[in-house]
Amino acid sequence: MSETATAWPHQVFRTLKSAGVGLVGYVPDAGHKRLIELCLADREMKAVVLSTEEEGIGLTAGAWLGGVRSALLMQSSGVGNCINALGTTRECRFPLLMLVTMRGQIGEFNPWQVPMGQATPAVLAAMGVVVREANSAAEVVPAADAAARLAFGSYQAVAVLISQQVIGIKSFQEQAAQGADSLAKAAR
């Protein structure tokens, strides 16, 4: 892989830091693995693991009420869990920054991921969320930076959809191997 292909999580993390994000809510996803680790390791950033993505919509709104900027990390399947709560984001004009790793796109190996993945841009748009798609690793950081500006500068709900091509996991076996790698690290 090229340097850009592997460096984007670090660069997105720096983008979040320079945007003043102090709180990150997440439901684990293989595509966000590195970025989640960076958020957890940062002393100034609070990373909150959620039981479902919908919780993140309340978390981020509550943090804004308290004067703290936040971001949500999730997989596209989790977008579906947020829909009703996004109505509150819109009615109250809470800023919202979602970084969504996509499944169900070109190259998907699990057919059950396809319906929600394909519907993700449309359902977000239907709820008034501005959608920006990053189709290559080089597009992720500029998209995240622009999204943070729009969210916090203009009080908008914004989602960056990080393409499955960027994530690059192409099989169950590859996904399982990443988990095995984590366990091995934890055991060391």
Partner 1 sequence: MTRLKRREVVEILLRDRGGLLVVAGLGSTAWDITAAGDSPLNFPLWGAMGNAAMFGLGLALAQPRRRVLVVTGDGEMLMGMGSLATIGVQQPRNLSVVVIDNERYGETGMQRTHTASGVDLAKVAVGCGIRFARRVQSRAGVVGLRRAVHAGRGPVFAQVKVVAEKIPLVLPPRDGGLLKSRFRKALLGAQADLD
Concatenating the DSSP letter of every residue in the chain gives --HHHHHHHHHHHHHHHHTTEEEEEE---GGGHHHHHHHHH-SS-EEEE-SSHHHHHHHHHHHHHTT-EEEEEEEHHHHGGGHHHHHHHHHHT--EEEEEE--SSTT-S-GGGHHHHHHHHHHHHHTT-EEEEE-SHHHHHHHHHHHHHHHHHHT-EEEEEE-HHHH---SHHHHHHHHHHHHHHHH-
CB of 56 to partner 1, least distance (A): 8
Q: Is 60 in the site for partner 1 (CB under 8 A)?
A: yes
Q: Locate tokens 């239907």: which residue?
A: 126
Q: Which amino acid is at 167?
A: I
The residue count for binding partner 1 (CB under 8 A) is 32
Q: Is 87 in the site for partner 1 (CB under 8 A)?
A: yes
Q: Is 124 in the site for partner 1 (CB under 8 A)?
A: no
Q: Contacts with partner 1 in 4-33 (CB under 8 A)?
A: 22-23
Q: Is 88 in the site for partner 1 (CB under 8 A)?
A: yes
Q: Is 158 in the site for partner 1 (CB under 8 A)?
A: no
CB of 19 to partner 1, least distance (A): 13
Q: Which of 42, 58, 169, 175 binds partner 1 (CB under 8 A)?
A: 58
Return the number of the residue (66 or 111) whose C-beta is nearest partner 1: 66
Q: Is 84 in the site for partner 1 (CB under 8 A)?
A: yes
Q: Is 170 in the site for partner 1 (CB under 8 A)?
A: no
Interface residues toward partner 1, by CB under 8 A: 22-23, 46, 48-52, 54-68, 70, 84-85, 87-88, 91-94
